[in-house]
Structure 1
Amino acid sequence: MRTLLDGRPAASHSVAPGIHVAVARAGETAAGGHDPAAARAAQSLAARALLRGLLAQVAGPAAAALPVAATDNGRPYLPDRPDLGVSLSHDGGWVAVAVGLDAAVGVDVQLPVPVTPALIRRCCTPDAARVLDALPTVDRDLAFAWIWTVQEACVKAEGTGLAGRPWTVPVPVDGHHGTWRGYRWHSLRDRAGPPLSCAHRPLQDTASAERSTSERENR
C-alpha cells in the first residue's frame, strides 16, 4: 500500500513575505478508488501531513506537532499559535496547504471540470465571461478552474467559505495576482500541476475588518 503522499518531495513556494504554500500529489490510497468518501478522507489526511511538513519548515518542529482545530465554518486553525494562519485544500489526488506568519491565509487547488455557460455567468464578471466564451472547450475549463481557485482561496482566507459567496469575487482571465476586500491573492501559474491559488491578509488587518463587520451587523 502506498503512503498518503506519493513519496516525491512536496513543492513549496513563498508567494509573499511570510506566506508559504506547499503542493503535492497524493499517493494511490488517497487519489481515487471506488469509494469517493474514503478517497476524500484519505486526501484530507494527506493534506494534514503536508501541512505539518510545511509548518516544520517555516515555523519549526514544535509548531508542526500542535493540534489543528476548526471553526464552525470549517476554517482550520492552531489554537496554541494564533499568530499562524493555516489553510488546506485537496482535489482529484492533489493536496495543497498554506501557512501565514501573522497572516490569515486561504489556499485552493482545483482540477478542471466541464463548465456550463450558466456557471460561467454566475461566477465570472461580464468581461471574463466574454473571454471564456471565445475559448476552446479545454482552454475554457482550465481558465475557469484558475478563476475558481482564486475565489475559493479568498473566502477561505476570510473564514467565510461558501457563505462568503465566492462566485462574487471578481477575477480576470489569466490573472496572476490581485486584491479583494483587503486580501491579496496570487495564482501560482509558474509551476507545474493543476490550478492553485492563495490569498492572505495580515492578522491585525483581518481582526479590524471583522470588528467593523460585526459592529455594522449589530447596529
Structure 2
Amino acid sequence: MPGGVEFPDAVPEFAGSGAFVHVSACPIGDAPIGLCVPDDLAAAGGLPAWRAAERIAARALLRSLLVVTADEEAAAAPVRGRKSGRPFLGGRPDVAVSLSHSDGWAAAAVGLRGRVGVDVQLPRPRIAPVRGGEGNQSGAGSQSVASRRPRTVASVVEAAWIWSVQEACVKATGEGLAGRPWQIPVEPGASTGRWGRLRWAAFRELFPVPVSCAWDPGAEAGS
C-alpha cells in the first residue's frame, strides 16, 4: 500500500506490561476495501460520499489488522460504538480497536490486552493561539483574532503531529474531546512519551502524514 504500512512484517508493534498494539494507515484509495464486512458498508450509509469513503477505508484497515493479529471471528465481528463514541468489537471484549480518518487518509489500531487510541491528522494552515493560553486547541476559538499570529509551514506540520498524539490519548481513555486533549503535554518533535497510565508513539519515520497511537497496558481491552 503506497504511503502505508505493509502487512504483516512492518506493522508497528509495541509490547509492554502485556499489551500489544498494532497500527496501520494509508490514503483511502489504498485501503483493502474488499476486506470490509456488510456491517462496515452499512455504517457508511447516508453519509456524504467523501466521509463514507473515509469511514469505509478505516474499517478496511481495521479488518486487515484483525486478520493478522487476532482471528477470523474478530475479523468479522461488528464494530459498535459506546456512548462516548469509542468503538468496540461486538462479542470480543478481549480486543480493543480504534479508528481515524482525515482529509483522504485513514488509520486503524488493534490492542490486545489493553485499550488503544489512534489518530491521523493532515496539517491544515490556520491561525494558532499565542503561547500562554490553553495550548493547542485545534480551532477551539477561545482567543480573539487580534491575539493570534500566522503560523509557518513547519509549525503547522508540528501542530498536527502534537494534535494527533493528544487525540490518540483521549481516544484511548474513551473521553474524546471531553478529555480536553489540548491540555495534554507533548513536546515538539517528540516521538514517544507517557501521559498518566498511557504510553504513546508518534510514527514520524513511518508515515508521511501525522499518525500517532496511545495505549493503556493496565486496562482491559473491552472496558
Range of TM-score over shorter length = 0.7 to 0.9
Distance 1:9 1:151, change over 3 A: closer
- State how many pairs are aligned: 187
Please tell me whether residue 206 in structure 1 is matched to residue 206 in structure 2: no
Return the offset for 1:9. Answer: 8.7
- Contact 1:43-1:90 at 8 Å conserved across structures: yes
- Contact 1:56-1:62 at 8 Å conserved across structures: no
Please tell me whether residue 166 in structure 1 is matched to residue 177 in structure 2: no
- Contact 2:3-2:207 at 8 Å conserved across structures: no
- C-alpha RMSD over aligned residues: 2.7
Aligned residue in 2 for 1:111: 122
* Deviation >2 Å, runs of 4+: 7-10, 12-15, 119-124
Q: Give % identity.
A: 46
Q: What CA distance in whole angstroms lies between the structure 2 residues aligned with 1:119 and 1:53? A: 41
Deviations 1:114-156 (A, max 9, x none): 23231764334xxxxxxxx9x9710000010000000000000
Aligned residue in 2 for 1:176: 191
- Contact 1:15-1:186 at 8 Å conserved across structures: no
Return the offset for 1:49. Answer: 1.1
Structure 1 residue runs without a partner (length 5+): 1-6, 29-35, 125-132, 211-219
- Contact 2:128-2:151 at 8 Å conserved across structures: no
Return the offset for 1:73. Answer: 1.3
Q: Secondary structure at the match of 1:97?
A: strand
Please tell me whether residue 146 in structure 1 is matched to residue 161 in structure 2: yes
Q: What CA distance in whole angstroms lies between the structure 2 residues aligned with 1:194 and 1:105? A: 20
Q: What CA distance in whole angstroms lies between the structure 1 residues aligned with 2:85 and 2:173? A: 12
Return the offset for 1:191. Answer: 1.4
Q: Secondary structure at the match of 1:179?
A: strand
Deviations 1:63-108 (A, max 9, x none): 1011111001111001311111100000111100000011100000
Q: What CA distance in whole angstroms lies between the structure 2 residues aligned with 1:73 and 1:95? A: 21
Return the offset for 1:26. Answer: 0.8
Amino acid at match of 1:122: E
Greater relative CO, 1 or 2 (CA 8 Å, sep 6+): 2
Amino acid at match of 2:219: T
Return the offset for 1:10. Answer: 4.6
Aligned residue in 1 for 2:82: 71
Q: Secondary structure at the match of 1:106?
A: strand
Amino acid at match of 1:163: A
Deviations 1:44-73 (A, max 9, x none): 011111101110011122210111110011
- Give 1 or 2: higher helix fraction: 1
Return the offset for 1:41. Answer: 1.8
Q: What CA distance in whole angstroms lies between the structure 1 residues aligned with 2:198 and 2:168? A: 10
